[in-house]
Amino acid sequence: MRSSKSRSRSKNNRSRSVGNIVNRVFDSSGPEGKVRGTPQQIIDKYNQLARDATLSNDRVAAENFQQHAEHYARLLGEAQREQEARREQQEAQNRERQQQQQQQREQREQQQAEQKPAEPAPQPEAEVIALDTAGEEPADSLVVETPENKPAPRRRAPRKKTTAAASEAPKTVEEPSETPNDTPAAE
């Protein structure tokens, strides 16, 4: 079993984690009994009790209440300073992070600009040479393309081979028949 003397009970060894003291509810054991509330509520209560004690000519009780109020005012002030310091630190980190992101964006844009080749002068589109000879390859197989980044132009469909009998056949065209609704309407 450990001896109780080995454990230090001094205030210097206690870690003071302020945390969220501003909204934390405390139970204060004052001379008039327990006072419960947030630090600001306790300060207000002790200040009211000190005023009441001063009005009743009890200088000792008034001083005691003021000391209790001062204690909670110090706690509250320390907590608010820590919160402000934390907030400023977070804002500084956010500003630094935004600057880094902006620099990264600028670097990416610069790299993209360097990677893009200079736009070449406009070149004429691909030339199509079509031979219209019977029995040879269709005209599409003789397409000559010029080198460029643009896709090749659309090609025409190959011509159908026609026979002599098919070209001489008469074409029949059906004309629309007259409808009985061509008569004028009666008024």
CA distance 151 to 168: 41
Per-residue pLDDT, 146: 61
User: Is residue 1 pLDDT above 50, yes or no?
Assistant: no
pLDDT digits (tens, 9 = 90+) for 51-106: 999 999 999 999 999 999 999 999 999 999 999 999 999 999 999 999 999 999 99
In the chain, what are the domain boundaries?
A: 20-113
Tokens describing residue 168: 């001489």
Q: Which residue has the higher pLDDT, 92 or 116?
A: 92
- DSSP symbol at 56: T
Task: Give CA–CA dist 96/113, Å, rounded.
Answer: 26
User: Does the global pTM surpass 0.85?
Assistant: no
Whole-angstrom Cα distance, residue 34 to residue 107? 63
Q: Rounded to whole angstroms, how far apart are CA atoms 73 and 46?
A: 11
